[in-house]
């Protein structure tokens, strides 16, 4: 019965002068998200967006619930500004919602009307509308009862400039800011649990993500790369598209293995990854790096390690997981839909070259000395020359 959806957005409503720009971004992102399910129209009515699509409502809602910047989504009936039509529409959405809620045994179906009038030319005030629509529903739906505090069904009525909207359900949105509203960053993605979550959290704050993966064939295989692509595909589901840079890391890996002391190999590997990522970021107009690091999880994630690794770049490095425990990260990964992919057992190059006793408190001068045998500049250029950009669609 629904082909129209009322979209509420919170945070971006507050952004003053930037607001039209944010709204436009959100509208674009919604259109892109719905492309796969069918044609959609998005229009702005004051403080809200209205989406029209003839596609299966379940699929539309699923897609919309993954668009950042949306606080809530309600499937609505769009009605003329006419009392009779509004009452009839309210009854229709109530009946539909009643099929989905289960009153406790023996108790009646309770409801409440929540009217809002932003179009002050409409002759009825909001309290008047509450009474009018509520009375109509009570008369026409046997056994119904009003409960203003804790109703099972909330029937919303919004009086806008040209139309009235009536609805009975709100699906929570993903929150955050529209992707792209905050510029672009480059995500360092492995096949693990953490980095996709970090990417998702950056996206949630409106950051457009491109991803870089360090590929060390033959030390890791095509299956592990395919897993990274699959992870990007899940993330792309929140933004429609992700560009993945597959960085040819093999030669660097080999050189480190040959020339650097075992306990510093991870540190140096990370420094090389950061250097490469910073260069790709510059080429791609990305303003920051995003990593899945969290403090103190493994040896390379101590503050001392971060200091030594971070020194090789001057671009900001965002670490959205820094405030999270492992269990919280896992839970988030499950909600996002990356967890089941991340735990597939394909080796990534980190685990393959992991020394038995990596240095947990490396010093900058140690790392620099350990790097001396490496032709850093040449290695970086070589790796970038063989880097391939792929476009991954959600």
Partner 1 sequence: MAIREVYLDNSATTRPLPEVVRAVVDALENNYGNPSSLHRKGVEAGRVVTRAREAVAASLGVAPAEIVFTGAGSEAVNLAIKGARPGKRGRHVITTAVEHHAVLNACAQLKEQGIEVTVLPVDAAGVVDPERLAAELRDDTYLVSIMYVNNEVGAVQPLVEIAAVIGAARKAGRRLLWHVDAVQAYGKLPLRPRELGVDLLSISAHKVHGPKGVGALYVAPHTPLQPLVAGGGQEWGLRSGTENVPGIAGFGVAAEMIAREGHLAADRLRPLKKRLVEGILAAVPGAVLNGPACDKENPRCAPHIANISFPGLRGEILVHSLEGRGIYVSTGSACSSGKKPGSHVLQAMGLKEDVVEGAIRFSLSITNTEEEIDYAVKNTAAVVEELRALYG
Which residues make up the interface to partner 1 (CB under 8 A)?
Answer: 217-222, 254, 257-258, 345-347, 351-352, 354
**Which CA distances in Å does 229 have to 10, 251, 287, 377, 389?**
32, 22, 23, 28, 12
Q: How far is the CB of 165 from partner 1 (least distance, A)?
A: 52
Q: How far is the CB of 260 from partner 1 (least distance, A)?
A: 12
- CB of 166 or CB of 193, closer to partner 1: 193
- CB of 106 or CB of 218, closer to partner 1: 218
- CB of 22 or CB of 249, closer to partner 1: 249
DSSP strand pairing (208-215 vs 241-248): parallel
Q: How far is the CB of 257 from partner 1 (least distance, A)?
A: 5
Strand partners, 318: 290
Q: How far is the CB of 354 from partner 1 (least distance, A)?
A: 8
Q: How far is the CB of 374 from partner 1 (least distance, A)?
A: 15
- CB of 37 or CB of 354, closer to partner 1: 354
- CB of 11 or CB of 347, closer to partner 1: 347
Q: How far is the CB of 64 from partner 1 (least distance, A)?
A: 38
Q: How far is the CB of 126 from partner 1 (least distance, A)?
A: 60
- CB of 148 or CB of 352, closer to partner 1: 352
Q: How far is the CB of 222 from partner 1 (least distance, A)?
A: 8
- CB of 303 or CB of 344, closer to partner 1: 344
Nearest to 297 by CA among 269, 315, 319: 319
- CB of 203 or CB of 299, closer to partner 1: 299
- CB of 195 or CB of 310, closer to partner 1: 195
Q: How far is the CB of 352 from partner 1 (least distance, A)?
A: 7
């Amino acid at each position: 019965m629904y082909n129209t959806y009322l979209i509420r957005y919170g945070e971006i409503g507050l952004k003053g002068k930037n607001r039209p720009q944010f709204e436009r971004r959100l509208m674009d992102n919604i259109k892109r998200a719905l492309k796969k399910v069918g044609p959609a129209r998005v229009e702005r009515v004051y403080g809200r967006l209205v989406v029209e699509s003839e596609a299966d409502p379940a699929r539309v809602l699923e897609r919309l619930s993954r668009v950042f910047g949306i606080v809530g989504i309600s499937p609505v009936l769009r009605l003329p500004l006419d009392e009779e039509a509004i009452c009839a529409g309210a009854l229709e959405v109530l009946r539909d919602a009643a099929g989905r809620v289960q009153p406790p045994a023996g108790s009646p179906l309770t409801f409440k009307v929540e009217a809002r009038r932003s179009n002050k030319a409409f002759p009825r005030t909001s309290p008047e509308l509450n009474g009018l629509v509520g009375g109509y529903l009570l008369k026409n739906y046997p056994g119904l009862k009003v409960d203003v505090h804790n109703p099972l069904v909330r029937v919303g009525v919004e009086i806008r400039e040209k139309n009235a909207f009536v609805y009975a359900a709100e699906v929570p949105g993903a929150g955050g800011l529209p992707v792209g509203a905050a510029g672009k960053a480059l995500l360092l993605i492995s096949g693990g649990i953490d980095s996709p979550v970090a990417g998702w959290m950056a996206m949630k704050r409106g950051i457009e993500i491109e991803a870089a993966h360090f590929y060390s064939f033959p030390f890791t295989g095509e299956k592990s790369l395919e897993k990274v692509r699959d992870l990007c595909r899940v993330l792309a589901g929140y933004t429609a598209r992700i560009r993945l840079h597959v960085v040819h890391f093999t030669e660097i890996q080999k050189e480190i293995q040959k020339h650097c002391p075992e306990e510093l190999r991870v540190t140096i590997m990370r420094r090389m990854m950061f250097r490469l990522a910073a260069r790709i970021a510059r080429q791609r107009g990305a303003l920051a790096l995003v990593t899945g690091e969290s403090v103190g999880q493994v040896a390379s994630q101590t503050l001392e390690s971060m200091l030594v690794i971070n020194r090789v770049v001057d671009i900001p490095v965002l670490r959205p997981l820094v405030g999270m425990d492992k269990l919280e990260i896992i839970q988030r990964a499950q909600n996002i839909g990356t967890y089941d992919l991340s735990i597939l057992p394909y080796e990534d190059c980190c685990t393959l070259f992991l020394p038995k006793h990596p240095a947990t408190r490396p010093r900058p001068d140690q790392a620099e000395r350990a790097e001396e045998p490496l032709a850093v500049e040449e290695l970086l250029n070589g790796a970038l020359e063989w880097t391939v950009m792929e476009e991954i669609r959600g």
